[in-house]
Structure 1
Amino acid sequence: MLDAVLIHQCADPSLKPAIAEQFIAKAGSQDPLAVTVRSGNRVVLVPKPTTPEAALALIRDNLGRNTVRVGITQYPAGVGIVEAGQLKPEMVEPCENIRMGTALFAKVFRIVLKWYGNPTAKEVLPQVMDDAAIAWQTGYFEGVAVFRAEDPAQEKITRPATTDTEESENGADPNEDSAATATATDTVASDPNKAGIRIDLSGIGARP
């Protein structure tokens, strides 16, 4: 069983630790050096790496022609990488893998949550979690390539700007809108794999 303390310490702050635990339990691995290689729907049998160097060599050998998942979170190794030389060795380091994986999964979760209409009812959130885990494993949700798709949190930031006069005419307080935009900008990094807006997912994983 993976140490929950490690997850709590390393999970990206955009995802609650309890959700990170469920994510890893559903879609991850207990082995920090786990490398899963797929060609289409077929799993490619590869030697089990026993060192970080062996894991990285295996990733490099398959990157670009097969789908490669890495480490505790089974992070998609090809995200944001054009060639094998850009591969980050930190990808197989347990804490960094958890940080990268939970940050990217948080975006996937937001995409699924938006499709559901951003529900707040606790009884709906487990289904959102299940669908987000499947989207993580397949890379797709409702025909959308979730790893390359725009983060819903980013969409809020890049909406067309309106003048103070237009906002006033629409009954909006321009000061409040500016403050909200500034807060969102502070919490969403330019790197799509990094932290986004925190979601209150306390309904998932909570014990009765």
Structure 2
Amino acid sequence: MLEAALIKECADPSLKPAIVEQFVQAVGSEDPLAITVKSGGRLILVPKPKTPEEAIAIVRESIGGAIVRVGLTQIPAGIGLKDASELKVDIVDRCTNLRMGTAMFAKILRIVAKWYGNPTSEEVFPQLFDDAVHAWQTGKFEGESVFQAKDPGGAVVQRSTLKVDDAAHAEEDETAETPDEPRVKPDNAGIRIDLTRIGGQK
């Protein structure tokens, strides 16, 4: 969970604190040095960096021909840069990464909201948020690259909290008592199948 002070100091001011928190929960990592490398849709294992300098070295090595996500918000590294050497070590700094990531996500939200006709009802926001998260994860919305796209500007009507993570989740959670609980990430999910008996039989 992000500290309120970090959000206040570093996050894009156009996003409400609750939305910043939900965004990082949905797409980010608790480890500011976290690096995710994908090539051709496959996850590439990279060494776990111990220092910011190690992290940026891994990013620079991996960035050619691969999609590299970095830090707290798993921001795509190298957007708008001509050369990997231009990458600065502060991309893995918690505050800088949160500032860059939330600014970029706010732009994506505005792109999605414009496509929806800039709705003024807060009720539509969970769907906008879900579409924006999907665009963040895939890099595209309606066939366009969202990270390279021009910012349409304007403000997005946001809810103070997101009661559901996405539209499909909404129907399941209508009777839930605590809909604000974050979705369990696959890495943190408990074991669903009893594997204890496998290999125990003779």
| TM above 0.5 | yes
* 1:98-140 Cα deviation digits (max 9, x unpaired): 0010011111110111111111222211011011011001100
CA separation in 2, counterparts of 1:83 and 1:47? 22
Match of 1:51 in 2: 51
Runs of at least 5 residues in structure 2 that lack an aligned partner in the other structure: 164-178, 181-202
1:156-195 correspondence to structure 2 within 5 Å? none
What does the per-residue CA deviation read over 1:121-160, in whole Å, with 9 as the maximum and x for residues that have no partner?
222110110110110011001101001111111xxxxxxx
Report the more deviating stretch, 119-128 or 104-113: 119-128
Amino acid at match of 2:156: I
Aligned pairs, number: 165
Which one of the candidate residues 137, 149, 159 is aligned to 1:202?
Answer: 159
**Aligned match of 1:25:** 25
User: 2: distance between equivalents of 1:13 and 1:100?
Assistant: 12
What's the % identity of the aligned pairs?
Answer: 58
User: CA offsets per residue over residues 67-105 of structure 1, 9 Å max, x none?
Assistant: 000000001102111111110211000001000100111
How far does residue 198 in structure 1 lie from its aligned partner after superposition? 4.5
Q: Using structure 2 for the length normalisation, give the TM-score.
A: 0.76
AA partner of residue 74 (structure 1)? Q
Dislocated runs of 4+, deviation >6 Å: none
Partners of 1:132 and 1:20 lie apart in 2 by: 13
Tell whether 2:88 aligns with 1:131: no
CA-CA distance at 1:14 after TM superposition: 2.3
How many angstroms apart in 1 are the aligned matches of 2:2 and 2:87?
A: 25
Residue identity opposite 1:20 in structure 2? V
Would you say the 8 A contact 2:35–2:71 is kept in 1? Answer: yes
CA contact under 8 A between 2:109 and 2:156: conserved in structure 1? no
- Residue 204 of structure 1 deviates from its aligned partner by 4.1
Asked if 2 retains the 8 angstrom alpha-carbon contact of 1:114 and 1:152, the reply is yes
Partner of 1:184: none
Match of residue 148 from structure 1:
148
Deviations 1:165-190 (A, max 9, x none): xxxxxxxxxxxxxxxxxxxxxxxxxx
Cα offset for 1:205?
Answer: 3.3
TM-score normalised per structure 1: 0.74
Matched AA of 1:29? S
SS at match of 2:46: coil
What CA distance in whole angstroms lies between the structure 1 residues aligned with 2:113 and 2:84? 33
The answer (yes or no) to whether the contact 1:125–1:203 under 8 Å persists in 2 is no
Structure with more contact order per residue of length (Cα contacts < 8 Å, sep ≥ 6): 1
Calculate the aligned-residue CA RMSD, in Å: 1.8
